[in-house]
Amino acid sequence: MGREVPRQLLGEALGTALLLAVVIGSGIMAQRLCGGNVGLALMANTLATVGGLYILIEVFGPVSGAHFNPAVSMVMAWRGELPRARLLPYVAAQLLGAMLGAWLAHAMFDLPILQWSTKVRSGTGQWVAEAVATAGLLLVILRAPPGRVAAMVAAYIGAAYWFTASTSFANPAAAFGRMFSDSFAGIAPASVAGFALAEFAGAAAGLGLHAALGSPVPRR
């Protein structure tokens, strides 16, 4: 038990850092290579995120549960699957990892390490999109068959990049980390609070929908 908690917190911090490095780094690369074609850049960003997220969940799932997301940790603490005393340390590790991941992406692309995003993402449509994206994410996590969570979460996020107006952050830690990057994937600091509130509301909605749907019917 003595080593379990530090190992879990390291897993959450490292996994979240790598996730943000994938999201931001692939956005920077896509912007550089796609010649101003925003749709093509978003497709490249999506594919990198889907692959990276799948691998990170598989690698860190056995260590910490691979939450990488305060909204997911909140739901797991509510359900008793994460000890409530670990919720705040998990969230702190995720936020720290998200910030470090943004800085790592900048370092890899020879950009100034310290920067703030100027990309405003706000408005009712964006907030509704984030609530929908996060509710769907929690439904997938809670209802995915054992052994298929990583693939289904990665596939869902890849789809949600395109069917939501916000490109599916679905993660308050991701919103926090991306405000430190004035790049393709960034979000202005003034926009983060609205995104985070919508994401937590979406997580609660996802939990409620899961309860309303009842236990998944076993497949034959």
Q: How far apart are CA 127 and CA 194, in angstroms?
A: 7
Closest by alpha carbon to 74, among 171, 215, 213? 171
**In residues, how long is the chain?**
220
E-strand stretches of the chain: none
Quote the pLDDT of residue 113: 97
Cβ atoms of 190 and 123 within 8 Å: the answer is no
- Cβ-based burial of 182 (10 A; exposed 0-12, middle 13-18, buried ≥19): middle
Q: How far apart are CA 136 and CA 156, in angstroms?
A: 8
- Cβ-based burial of 56 (10 A; exposed 0-12, middle 13-18, buried ≥19): buried
CATH superfamily of 4-213: Glycerol uptake facilitator protein. (1.20.1080.10)
Six token digits for residue 42: 């978003």
Cβ atoms of 202 and 138 within 8 Å: the answer is yes
Closest by alpha carbon to 180, among 115, 130, 125? 115
Quote the pLDDT of residue 215: 80
Kindly report whether the global pTM for this prediction surpasses the value 0.75.
yes
Mean pLDDT by 10 residues, the chain (220 residues): 87 98 98 94 98 98 97 98 97 98 98 97 97 98 95 98 97 98 97 98 98 75
Cβ atoms of 205 and 131 within 8 Å: the answer is yes
Quote the pLDDT of residue 3: 83
Cβ neighbours of residue 94 closer than 8 Å, sequence gap 6 or more: 12, 13, 16, 67, 68, 69, 70, 73, 173
Quote the pLDDT of residue 22: 98
Quote the pLDDT of residue 2: 64
Alpha-carbon torsion angle 30, 24, 22, 154, nearest 10: -90
